[in-house]
Structure 1
């Protein structure tokens, strides 16, 4: 009688996972480096410095946009608003939604759980872009208001994710023992329950940031956010589409930055999840 062996990892799977780490780092480092260091490397782009839709030359390596501004200078100055608003919105969503989700999972009474989660359900069926549009019009395209609107529409799904992931840990015998020993609720939340949501949050954060980049970019692209002449990647794409055939770099360069950021972030998130799953399998064996 032949014994069945436990199936191991698929051939080539480990290599693909390892290769994703440096690729994701490079893809993520380029737009982040551009957003952080770009304004220090180039002067703010000014209108009319050259002919509109000029082709590449020694003075303007990527040409100029429809207002005669250097595309490379726009690229170096456009990342802070594009990525800053999205990352800030996701950070606020996880801060608020994470706290609400952990409190709901740890609630000893069902009514307390319902009181925390049900009000957030009101935001779930609302069209996201409609909420952002109303906020943008009401606050005249304020970047802070748009970031808060994007954070608000992401709080309910984040809270539900954290609550679902923390339910088992919050009702486990370990948690009950810690409560009987007189441990403070904050320490129980941080030392035990919060650890159970790390993997689900890591799996979600790449998608959540990608969605935030899309929403912030869509608001700026539709003219609901920043000033139409602002050096923002999404605004540059919106303005550059008018002369796409004359000056494709005005659209392709900022679009490539957004694509590299989202792809690189998701590759690194998948890499971290793969390492966590591999450690778990080793412990089980």
Structure 2
């Protein structure tokens, strides 16, 4: 006699974490991307440990890269190299915090929208997401940033409010796929609470989609954070934030190209590295 459907245990992640890691470390571009990310995470710490000051004048203004000044100096005689290394801190504080907040909020909303179809999931939550997503990305973030101000916490909230509905849509799509599987119906039949079904049954099975989406959002959050600083809505002078540095030195691009090029390349390197990590995670996790 066959066992009833209610005795079946829900499937878990397709690939165990050690297996996923083993597959990732065999990919050279993934390793290189992680190395770039780690470098920029460590760079501000190295500046602090060495006692280097990104705000002090180290030589004459607008000195080109050379032996005395590795990456040259800016229009105030400050070291471009030191400010470049220190400038990773503001952007890698705001962007990860905003991504984490957006992921948590988006996951809860996505689970709810996917599980509760009809008025709650489709009419209320999804239509609210549509309203937020109807605005162009940078415009929406600018509006929120204008309301909350220019503090780091305000930037985190601004980016998170815009990204949360995008994460929620991804999670909802993954939940809708899981809703057609037997373990969800089995959990309902056994009388499990909605809270337990959402967070003990569905959440573990949509985690791969959440991981990939969160990594992708992190790349976008870095770009948006730098963009807000460029528009003077983020970090304020004399911060070495890359977006702010590019904004302040763009008028010197013909006479001091290095003061703009190097922080711009730093932003590009970090965003590309995180996007490549997200692509590899998507391939390995089958998302």
Q: What TM-score range do you get, normalising by the shorter chain? A: 0.7 to 0.9
**191, 199, 206: which one aligns with 1:197:** 206
Structure 2 match to 1:104: 113
Specify the alignment match of 1:170 in structure 2. Answer: 179
Q: 1:46 matched to which residue of 2?
A: 55
2:242–2:264 contact (8 Å) kept in structure 1 = yes
Match 2:168 to one of 159, 170, 177: 159
- The equivalent residue for 2:88 is 79
The residue that corresponds to 1:248 in the other structure is 257
Q: Structure 2-normalised TM-score?
A: 0.81
Q: CA deviation at 1:225?
A: 1.8
CA distance in 1, matches of 2:179, 2:119: 16
What is residue 67 of structure 1 aligned with on the other side?
76
Specify the alignment match of 2:143 in structure 1: 134
Kept after mapping to 2: 8 A contact 1:17/1:274 = no
After superposing the two structures, state which structure 1 stretch, 36-45 or 247-256, moved more.
36-45
Q: Distance in 2 between matches of 1:16 and 1:141?
A: 39
Shift of 1:170: 2.9
Cα distance between partner residues in 2 of 1:15 and 1:169: 26
TM-score, normalization by structure 1:
0.81
Note the residue ranges of structure 1 that are not aligned, 5 or more in a row: 1-13, 281-285
Question: Do the aligned partners of 1:42 and 1:73 also contact (CA within 8 Å) in 2?
Answer: no
How far did residue 152 of structure 1 move?
A: 0.8
Distance 1:16 1:81 in 2: 29
SS in 1 for 2:134: coil
Q: For the structure 1 residues 125 and 179, does the alpha-carbon distance in structure 2 shift closer, same or farther, using more than 3 Å as the test?
A: same
- Are the counterparts in 2 of residues 31 and 258 from structure 1 also a CA contact under 8 Å? no
Partner Cα distance (2:68, 2:275) in 1: 36
Shifted more, 129-138 versus 160-169: the winner is 129-138
RMSD: 2.7
> CA contact under 8 A between 2:61 and 2:77: conserved in structure 1?
yes
Where does residue 124 of structure 1 map in the other structure? 133
203-212 or 228-237: bigger deviation: 203-212
CA distance, structure 2, for counterparts of residue 178 and residue 138 of structure 1:
44
Separation in 2, partners of 1:246, 1:21: 37
Q: Which runs of 5+ in 2 are unaligned?
A: 1-22
Moved more, 219-228 or 205-214: 205-214
Between the aligned partners of 2:189 and 2:212, the Cα distance in structure 1 is: 33
